[in-house]
Amino acid sequence: MQPRIDPATGQYDGTRIGHLGNAVWLRIMTPLGSWWARPDVGSRLHELQRQKSLPRVASLAEQYARQALADLVSSGRAQSVAATATLNAGRLDLNVTVIDGTGRAWSYPFTQVLH
């Protein structure tokens, strides 16, 4: 079990978790290539912050999230990952669903403001 990262603050919140929450958060919130320990970990979602609120942005967000989480499936830590994104008044809402190794589904919401 590992300390849980609070998605709202990015800080450890003092609780322990046994699922993939931290791994998902790190892969989604870390810009791809910026982590010195593993440059292959991260996503391209930060590139969408300066985009206009267009339908293609939601499709790109889903694609970037699936790419960022693909190594969880290839390493066997998760059975599958899915991502759905919607645009709401200049805000990108991304929901990631991960099926862990035991078959349990976990849902992780992320929100990003677009300019």
Q: Read off the CATH number of the domain in which 25 is found.
A: 3.10.450.40
Query: What is the per-residue pLDDT for 58?
Result: 93
Please say whether the beta carbons of 75 and 45 come within 8 A: no
Query: Residue 24 region, left (φ>0) first, then alpha (ψ -120 to 50), else beta?
Result: alpha
Q: What is the pLDDT of residues 71-85, one digit of tens each?
A: 999 999 899 999 999
Query: What is the per-residue pLDDT for 44?
Result: 95
- Per the structure, the count of domains in the chain is 1
Q: 34 pLDDT exceeds 80?
A: yes
Helices (runs of H) and strands (runs of E) counted in the chain: 2, 5
Range of 105's domain? Answer: 2-113
Predicted TM-score (pTM) of the model is: 0.83
Question: Average pLDDT, whole number, for the chain?
Answer: 88
Residue labelled with tokens 């190794």:
101
Dihedrals φ, ψ of 28, to 5°?
Answer: -80, -45
Categorize the per-residue pLDDT at 35 as very low, low, confident or very high, splitting at 50, 70 and 90.
confident
Categorize the per-residue pLDDT at 17 as very low, low, confident or very high, splitting at 50, 70 and 90.
low
Mutual orientation of helices 21-29 and 55-74 as an angle, nearest 10°? Answer: 130
